[in-house]
């Protein structure tokens, strides 16, 4: 028989012991967790705080010189509140002139009324006299024609009144356009003009308003996760710094139908190649402390 050296026997025992230990570990260790088991999130996306419709950019509706600016940055304004007023002197003169035209036209109507009443009365008397054989039939006809002419002149005078009143309404409208008012309840974000400045509708935004509307999140959902996200799905909105108090519950309102670039991605290479769909989320509770444009992370929760 072939003799086995002590060194070879010791090596064989080491191999058998290591194999037994590996077998025991493989039987007692739990299976590795899958990606689905490790996270409760169906997808994660970058987002930005916004409001429906965005900020309101207001320009002065007419050209002129600003006489006053009645709202300033940070002010809360109500719907219909005056924000700024142009120099109203030219518009006020136009209103006064239109008002004078109306008064003159109404005076012409009163004169036409008196003339028509006299012509009608004369025509009635001459017609009655001609019927009784005490008057000339031609004179009665002439009187009736004069009465009809007076009635037509009265109608023309009334039309002049209507036209003058339309011009007055137009002049008052132009006067009102010299005043800029807040269209909704809002907060003034910025003011870019001051009294004495020349402004016009084409000169740019004078006031930027933040309407009193609930905050929403506009998230950029990667195209690979579009099929996994549905309206109504719950989500968590997290501040970029992941602060302790920077977590808010939300739900999906709608998912866009158009692909676009990833504008919120920091890596320029990923931003150039990624395609995303806009996903709009609403907070379960109002979060007025969040600032428009603030960047957040959206974690879409797995449906249970």
Q: Tell me what pLDDT residue 154 has.
A: 86
Q: What is the pLDDT of residue 221?
A: 93
Please check whether residues 78 and 195 belong to one and the same domain: yes
Based on the fold, state whether residues 69 and 81 are members of the same structural domain: yes
Q: pLDDT at position 241, please?
A: 65
Q: Are both 195 and 120 inside the same structural domain?
A: no
Tokens encoding 222 = 């990667």
Please tell me the predicted confidence (pLDDT) of residue 27: 41
What is the reported pLDDT for 25?
39
Encode the chain in three state secondary structure: CCCCCHHHHHHHHHHHHHHHHHHHHHHHCCCCCCHHHHCCEEEEEEEEEEECCCCEEECCCCCEEEEEECCCCCCEECCCCEEEEECCHHHHHHHHHHHHHHHHHHHHHHHHHHHHHHHHHHHHHHHHHHHHCCCCHHHHHHHHHHHHHHHHHHHHHHHHHHHHHHHHHHHHHHHHCCEEECCCCEEEEEECCCCCCEECCCCCCCEEEEECCCEEEEEEEEHHHHHHCCCCCEEEEEECCCCCCCEEEEEEEEEEEEEEECCCCCCHHHHHHCEEEEEEEEECCCCCCCCCCCEEEEEEECCC
* CATH number, residue 47: 2.40.30.170
Q: In this predicted structure, what is the pLDDT of residue 22?
A: 37
* pLDDT of 40: 81
Which conformational region is residue 133 in: left (phi greater than 0), alpha (psi within -120 to 50 degrees), or beta?
Answer: left
66 & 194 share domain: yes
**Under a CB-based contact definition with an 8 Å cutoff, are residues 233 and 303 in contact?**
yes
Q: Which positions of the chain have pLDDT values less than 50?
A: 1-4, 6, 9-10, 13-37
Which domain, by its residues, includes 187?
A: 60-87+182-204
Q: How far apart are CA 154 and CA 81, in angstroms?
A: 44
225 and 268 belong to one structural domain = yes
Interval 55-71: pLDDT, tens:
999 999 999 999 999 99
Q: Which two tokens stand for residue 151?
A: 């009635």
pLDDT value of residue 39? 66
Residue 244 has a pLDDT of 60
149 and 100 in a single domain? The answer is: yes
């Amino acid at each position: 028989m072939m003799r086995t050296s002590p060194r070879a026997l010791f090596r064989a025992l080491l191999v058998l012991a290591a194999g037994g230990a590996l077998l025991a570990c493989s039987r007692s260790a739990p299976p590795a967790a899958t990606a689905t088991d490790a996270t409760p999130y169906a997808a994660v996306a970058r987002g930005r705080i916004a409001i429906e419709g965005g900020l309101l950019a207001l320009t002065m509706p007419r050209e002129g010189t600003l006489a006053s600016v009645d709202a300033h940055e940070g002010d809360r304004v109500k719907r219909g509140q005056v924000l700024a007023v142009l120099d109203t002197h030219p518009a006020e003169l136009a209103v006064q002139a239109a008002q004078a035209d109306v008064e003159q036209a109404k005076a012409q109507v009163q004169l036409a009324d008196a003339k028509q009443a006299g012509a009608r009365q004369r025509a009635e008397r001459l017609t009655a006299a001609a019927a009784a054989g005490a008057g000339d039939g031609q004179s009665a006809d002439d009187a009736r024609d004069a009465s009809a002419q007076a009635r037509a002149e009265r109608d023309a005078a009334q039309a002049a009144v209507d036209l003058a009143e339309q011009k007055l309404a137009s002049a008052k409208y132009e006067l009102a356009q010299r005043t800029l008012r807040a269209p909704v309840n809002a907060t003034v974000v910025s003011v870019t003009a001051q009294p004495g400045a020349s402004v016009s509708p084409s000169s740019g935004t004078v006031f930027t308003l933040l309407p009193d509307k609930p905050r929403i999140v506009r998230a950029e959902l990667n195209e690979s996760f579009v099929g996994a996200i549905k309206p109504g799905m719950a989500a968590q909105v997290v501040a970029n710094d992941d602060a302790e108090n920077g977590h808010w519950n939300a739900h999906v309102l709608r998912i866009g139908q158009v692909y676009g670039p990833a504008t919120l991605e920091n890596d320029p290479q990923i931003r150039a190649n990624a395609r995303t769909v806009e996903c709009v989320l609403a907070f379960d509770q109002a979060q007025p402390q969040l600032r428009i444009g603030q960047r957040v992370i959206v974690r879409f929760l797995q449906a249970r």
